Amino acid sequence: PEQQKMSESSLRWLRGVDLPPAQHPLNKTLVTGSKWKDVQSSQEKRRTFLHSFCKKHSGGKRLQTHLAHLVSRIYVEDRHKVLYCEVPKAGCSNWKRVLMVLSGLAASAHNISHDDVHYGKHLRKLDSYDPKGMYARLNTYTKAVFVREPMERLVSAFRDKFEHPNSYYHPVFGKAIIKKYRQDPDEEALRTGSGVTFKEFIRYLLDSHRPVGMDIHWEQVSQLCYPCLINYDFIGKFETLEEDANHLLQLVGAPAELRFPSFKDRHSSDERTSAGVVRQYLKELSEEERQLTYAFYSLDYLMFNYTSP
């Protein structure tokens, strides 16, 4: 019943949604070799699963949201007709590198720096086009989203932004979090915003009166990419990232020598955030906090068929 209650509340925003048109079958003419059979069948399963989930949980009404808002996280690559919705902590830095190579902005994905990827403003987003341009691309391009197990994505974001020096997240989020959720914080912590604990971070996440707003690194995929409104042709998972990504590259006719890069973008000496690492972090929370955190991401668990812990 608890699980049901939480999904009910998060499903409410779906009620006013009009379903996307029937899915395009993926054009497989460019795919060579039989090794893709499994990847293709898992693609079909994921698409069918998401489609039936959306159908079940949305009424026939329209979502009263501006189109530009719905597509504000989608990157456009016009040469190969690709739309990629960015989900941070699910391979997005390397995806942006690949898009830069596809569009002819770089010769190789391997020598593009992190800053160039994220702050270089090389790639266009879908909301920068006029409505006609947005609709035309939504209707004809291959639309892809890559997702990750929600707790792993959350812990990965926390480690990246709060456990390493960061000139934006510590002063903006850290200070506000320490000020509101820490009893007797010392001057140093209030001044720098460094040293936020995972428990403090979760208290901020679950607070409906957050002292600072949401951030794309821990925003739900359902709110970043609107998977029930934008009919994604390809659903990749971080857990099978390279295989899925290289399959997608074949589908869109990428140059044969372009492979999805497997390097870890930042803090490369850190252990990757795995299920084991996540368990250690979740130990810092009370049973109730854990339940509420799962509830917060319940839609992501449900839409992408992840087993809720």
- Of 28-37, 152-161, 188-197, 258-267, which gets the smallest average pLDDT? 28-37
Angle at 221 between CA 215 and CA 222, to 5 degrees: 115
Would you kindly state where each structural domain of the chain is located, as residue ranges?
36-149+222-252, 152-217+272-304
Burial environment of residue 307 by CB neighbours within 10 A (0 to 12, 13 to 18, 19 or more): exposed
pLDDT at residue 26 above 80? Answer: no
Quickly state the pLDDT bin for 295 (edges 50, 70, 90).
Answer: very high
Backbone conformation region of residue 291, classed left if phi is above 0, alpha if psi is from -120 to 50, else beta: alpha
How many angstroms separate the most distant Cα atoms in the chain? 63
Q: Residue 203: what pLDDT? A: 98
Q: How far is 303 from 166, CA to CA, in rounded Å?
A: 32
Q: What's the pLDDT tens digit per position in 116-144?
A: 887 777 899 999 999 899 999 999 999 99
Contacts by residues 10-14 (CB-CB < 8 Å, ≥ 24 positions apart): 10/222, 10/295, 10/298, 10/299, 11/57, 11/299, 13/63, 13/222, 14/54, 14/57, 14/58, 14/228, 14/299
Q: What is the pLDDT of residue 206?
A: 97
pLDDT tens digits along 171-207: 999 999 999 999 999 999 999 999 999 999 999 999 9
Residue showing tokens 């893709």: 36
pTM to 2 decimal places: 0.88
Of 9 and 80, the one with more pLDDT: 80
Q: Which two tokens stand for residue 131?
A: 């409505």
